[in-house]
């Protein structure tokens, strides 16, 4: 297997070092392993739209160093083991030059290990888990989107500004994501001097959150942080409103807590909810306005942060490959490190030490059904220290 | 001393009242289930989906401009014929499989549940919907903050339970139901139209599920998998209370949700489910027939 692979690499290297005309014939293959079916299909849809829009535009402008980009899609079914099988096929059979599209953090970590084994590069545009570019970082994995820590750092900085020395209550869904988001946000808030007045973890799909209101009422918090999602958010917030608990409490949460999928059902109870995000269609820059317009024209839908970061990853790869002057993974990796490139969010920097993109972060607050940008935190403050020790 | 009073008034009492509202919701869902189980001996796995259909009908007709109070009457009237047709068209066909009846009807209704859920998904999409609360606002009683709609739910729910109890224990139809539940063949030979009584009872159960759907939609919101929500706790209530027992469903429903509500003040709410199901296991071991006996056997 290994020798065969080395053979392929050698052939690729020879092809790359050959004449420019020969290179121009062959396309740049980018594999996309993303959920096309299942719960995460709406996210996979945005990923696909973002990638396809960027690819179309890059190809029309001459491609990567004169070579056209070809996207090859595989359905990960949002399942890490399926994602690995599909990625293996893309690496071994299709011989893709680069891989992207993984959504859930488990899939990104698993496919990342595979990429390291076969000596290819990949980037996620969606996964939030901090560990991907911290404790479990890999020399072959890059992340162009903001990780959970960047979102909570931005949000915490804003909350402290609104309510200094606040009493904060935390409520998360009872599984890995819920516990890690609450822990991360609590750590930031404690750093800023907020008082922790209690935490709760509710089972997924709890029907009635009123049974938790006793504890919340007893704690009398000024700020409530939550990372529940989907229908759970609908019930939690509308029941809080029903019981008059929202009052003048500031409710903040994870970026996936309120989305276009559940915002209508939440109604008024969503007003005032704040969250930290890496992207909003409301970022008022010429680059973003142009991007939003093109995206809407192409798909009759708004881009979300997944679509935008997936759009950005094509430009990331193009910039790196052109800087490296080759598609050879080692050369491209070197070029990716400390690379700055343009995205709809503005200029991003790929930090060389942990392969995590640094970008300005925004705080958005819901006002009558739409997200308004109410705060901005600069990239370096939001990103924090490099915790990757593997390379 | 003051802090104890504060705790009772502002923490414990609201918790128990909200637990009561949840309890009534659970009883409403369990009621139809227990009647169908007690009489037909059918474990209706599609009960939650009938509840969902009721809620979706309420949303759709509500958007069409029909008043909520009209829907409260209209939805059960729409759901009952559906239930009747399902019993006649599907359940009746596999009912006489003798020893295997529990398995065949369970599989049939389970399949039906999946079909209904997918159907809802295709017709209404994945998005969560929520009808506005028909009685917004809240009242304060002794410093207790109580949403009006929950108070209405408690009152109306108890009325529905009483109505069903009267229908089963005080009417001619009710005595036929109980007779058929006690001994099917004897009832038939005495002139009770057993298969029609079965279909009507199933229709009543489905109508109750639909009614619960309308009533609970403003509180718990409406989405395709909502049918699975109450079904486990409802089954627990039916088993703990005594299969087919109306009094059992009420007592077990209110008791279990109070346990949930009060226990979640002291320990992580995550434990409230294991506690509730633990109680169910205990009841099954110590008193397999449930707290109250079966319908028609008491």
Contacts of A244 in chain B (CB under 8 A): 138, 145, 147
What is the structure's pLDDT at A297? Answer: 95
> Which of A207, A218, A257, A259 to substitute to test the interface with B, most B CBs within 10 Å?
A207
A208 and B CB contact within 8 Å: yes
Q: Residue A8, class by beta-carbon neighbours within 10 Å (0-12 exposed, 13-18 middle, 19+ buried)? A: middle
Which band of pLDDT confidence, cut at 50, 70 and 90, is reported for residue B97? confident
Provide the residue ranges of all domains of chain B, joining segments of one domain with +: 15-126+135-286
Q: Which residue, A386, A384, A376, A380, is CA-closest to A154?
A: A376
- Assign A295 to helix, strand or coil: helix
Q: What is the mean pLDDT of residues A314-319?
A: 96
B216-253: string of b/e by CB count within 10 Å (b at 16+)? bbbbbbbbbebbebbbebbbbbbbbbbbbbbbbbbbbb
pTM of the model: 0.76
Mean pLDDT of the residues in chain A: 88
Contact predicate B199/B42, CB 8 Å: no
Contacts of B229 in chain A (CB under 8 A): 205, 207
A198 and B CB contact within 8 Å: no
Range with top average pLDDT, A284-298, B168-182, B243-257? A284-298
Q: What is the mean pLDDT of residues A291-297?
A: 96
Residue B251 has phi, psi (to 5 degrees) of -65, -50
The residue behind tokens 């309420």 is B58
Mean pLDDT of the residues in chain B: 88
- Assign B297 to helix, strand or coil: coil
B265 and A CB contact within 8 Å: yes
A331 and B CB contact within 8 Å: no
What is the structure's pLDDT at B297? Answer: 59
Indicate if the pLDDT at residue B20 is higher than 70: yes
Please give the share of chain B, as a percent, with pLDDT higher than 70. 98
Contacts of A218 in chain B (CB under 8 A): 7, 10-11
In whole angstroms, give the CA distance from residue A245 to residue A232. Answer: 17
Q: Which residues belong to CATH 3.40.50.2300 in chain A?
A: 2-146+283-359, 149-277
Report the residue of chain B nearest A260, measured CA to CA.
B127
Q: What is the mean pLDDT of residues B262-273?
A: 79
* Tokens describing residue B238: 């039916």
List, as one string, the DSSP characters of A102-140: --SHHHHHHHHHHHHHHT-EEEESS---GGGGTTT--TT
Contact predicate B117/B225, CB 8 Å: yes
Q: Distance, in angstroms, between A102 CA and closest chain B CA?
A: 22
Q: Do A214 and B126 touch (CB under 8 A)?
A: no
Strand order in the sheet with A357-358: A340-343, A346-350, A357-358
Contacts of B10 in chain A (CB under 8 A): 217-218
Q: Which residues pair with A341 in a beta bridge?
A: A348
Please give the share of chain A, as a percent, with pLDDT higher than 70. 93
Q: What is the pLDDT of residues B213-233, one digit of tens each?
A: 999 999 988 988 888 878 888
B6 and A CB contact within 8 Å: no
CATH 1.10.3470 fits B15-126+135-286, yes or no: yes
Q: Cα–Cα distances in Å, from A363 out to A159, A162, B153?
A: 10, 12, 39
CATH of A2-146+283-359, one of 1.10.1420.10, 3.30.565.10, 3.40.50.2300, 3.40.50.300: 3.40.50.2300
Which band of pLDDT confidence, cut at 50, 70 and 90, is reported for residue B1? low
Indicate if the pLDDT at residue B84 is higher than 80: yes
Q: Do A201 and B11 touch (CB under 8 A)?
A: no
Q: What is the pLDDT of residues A173-225, one digit of tens each?
A: 887 778 888 988 999 899 888 999 999 998 877 888 888 888 888 889 999 99
Q: What is the mean pLDDT of residues A357-367?
A: 93
Q: What is the mean pLDDT of residues B168-186?
A: 89
Alpha-carbon radius of gyration of chain B: 20
What is the structure's pLDDT at A97? Answer: 95
Contact predicate B40/B201, CB 8 Å: yes
The residue behind tokens 């995206």 is A295
* Tokens describing residue B144: 């207790």
Q: What is the pLDDT of residues B27-66, one digit of tens each?
A: 999 999 999 988 888 889 999 999 999 999 999 999 999 9
The residue behind tokens 């009237």 is B77
Q: Which fold has domain A149-277?
A: Rossmann fold (3.40.50)
Q: Distance, in angstroms, between A208 CA and closest chain B CA?
A: 7
Indicate if the pLDDT at residue A18 is higher than 80: no
- Residue B153 region by backbone torsions, left for phi larger than 0, else alpha for psi between -120 and 50, else beta: alpha
What is the structure's pLDDT at A3? Answer: 47
């Amino acid at each position: 297997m290994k020798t065969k692979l080395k053979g392929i690499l050698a052939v690729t290297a020879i092809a790359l070092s050959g004449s420019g005309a020969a290179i121009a014939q062959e396309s740049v293959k980018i594999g996309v392993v993303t959920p096309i079916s299942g719960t995460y299909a709406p996210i996979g849809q945005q990923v696909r739209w973002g990638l396809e829009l960027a690819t179309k535009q890059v190809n029309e402008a001459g491609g990567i160093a004169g070579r056209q980009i070809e996207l090859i899609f595989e359905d990960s079914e949002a399942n890490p083991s399926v994602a690995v099988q599909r990625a293996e096929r893309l690496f071994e059979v299709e011989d893709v030059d680069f891989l992207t599209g993984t959504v859930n953090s488990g899939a990104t970590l698993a496919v990342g290990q595979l990429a390291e084994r076969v000596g290819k590069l990949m980037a996620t545009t969606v996964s939030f888990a901090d560990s991907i570019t911290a404790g479990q970082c890999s020399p072959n994995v890059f992340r162009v989107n903001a990780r959970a820590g960047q979102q909570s750092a931005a949000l915490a900085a804003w909350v402290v500004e609104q309510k200094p020395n606040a009493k904060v209550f935390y409520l998360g869904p009872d599984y890995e994501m819920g516990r890690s988001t609450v822990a991360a946000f609590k750590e930031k808030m404690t750093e800023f001097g907020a008082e922790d007045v209690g935490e709760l973890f509710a089972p997924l799909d709890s029907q009635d959150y009123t049974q938790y209101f006793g504890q919340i009422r007893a704690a009398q918090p000024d700020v409530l942080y939550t990372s529940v999602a989907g229908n759970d958010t609908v019930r939690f917030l509308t029941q809080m409103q029903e019981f008059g608990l929202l009052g003048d409490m500031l409710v903040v949460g994870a970026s996936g807590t309120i989305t276009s999928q559940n915002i209508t059902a939440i109604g008024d109870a969503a007003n005032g909810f704040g969250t930290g995000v890496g992207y909003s269609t409301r970022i008022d820059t010429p680059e973003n306005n142009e991007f939003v317009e093109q995206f809407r024209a192409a798909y009759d839908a708004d881009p979300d942060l997944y679509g935008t970061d997936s759009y950005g990853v094509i430009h990331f790869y193009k910039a790196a490959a052109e800087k490296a002057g080759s598609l050879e993974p080692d050369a491209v990796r070197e070029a990716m490190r400390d690379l700055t490139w343009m995205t709809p969010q503005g200029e991003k920097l790929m930090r060389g030490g942990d392969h995590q993109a640094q970008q300005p972060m925004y705080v958005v607050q819901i006002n009558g059904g739409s997200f308004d940008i109410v705060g901005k935190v600069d990239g370096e403050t939001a990103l924090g220290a490099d915790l990757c020790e593997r390379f | 001393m003051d802090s104890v009073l504060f705790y009772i008034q502002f923490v414990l009492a609201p918790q128990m009242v909200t637990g009561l509202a949840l309890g009534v919701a659970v009883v409403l869902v369990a009621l139809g289930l227990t009647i169908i189980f007690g009489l037909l001996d059918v474990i209706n796995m599609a009960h939650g989906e009938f509840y969902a259909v009721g809620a979706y009908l309420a949303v759709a007709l509500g958007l069409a401009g029909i008043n909520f109070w009209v829907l409260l009457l209209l939805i059960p009237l729409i759901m009952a014929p559906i239930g009747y047709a399902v019993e006649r068209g599907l359940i009746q066909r596999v009912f006489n499989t003798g020893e295997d009846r529990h398995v065949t009807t369970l599989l049939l209704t389970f399949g039906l549940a999946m079909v209904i859920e997918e159907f809802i998904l295709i017709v209404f999409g994945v998005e969560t919907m929520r009808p506005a609360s028909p009685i917004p606002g809240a009242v304060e009683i002794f410093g207790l903050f109580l949403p009006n709609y929950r108070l209405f739910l408690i009152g109306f729910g108890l009325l529905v339970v009483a109505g069903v109890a009267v229908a089963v224990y005080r009417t001619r139809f009710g005595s036929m139901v109980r007779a058929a539940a006690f001994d099917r063949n004897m009832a038939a030979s005495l002139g009770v139209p057993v298969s029609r009584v079965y279909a009507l009872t199933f229709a009543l159960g489905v109508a109750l599920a639909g009614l619960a759907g309308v009533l609970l939609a403003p509180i718990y919101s409406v989405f395709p998998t909502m049918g699975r929500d109450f079904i486990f706790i409802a089954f627990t209530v039916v088993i703990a209370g005594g299969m087919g027992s109306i009094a059992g469903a009420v007592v077990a429903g209110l008791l279990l949700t109070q346990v949930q509500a009060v226990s979640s003040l002291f320990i992580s709410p995550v434990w409230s489910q294991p506690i509730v199901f633990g109680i169910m296991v205990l009841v099954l071991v110590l008193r397999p027939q449930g707290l109250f006996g079966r319908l028609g056997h008491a």
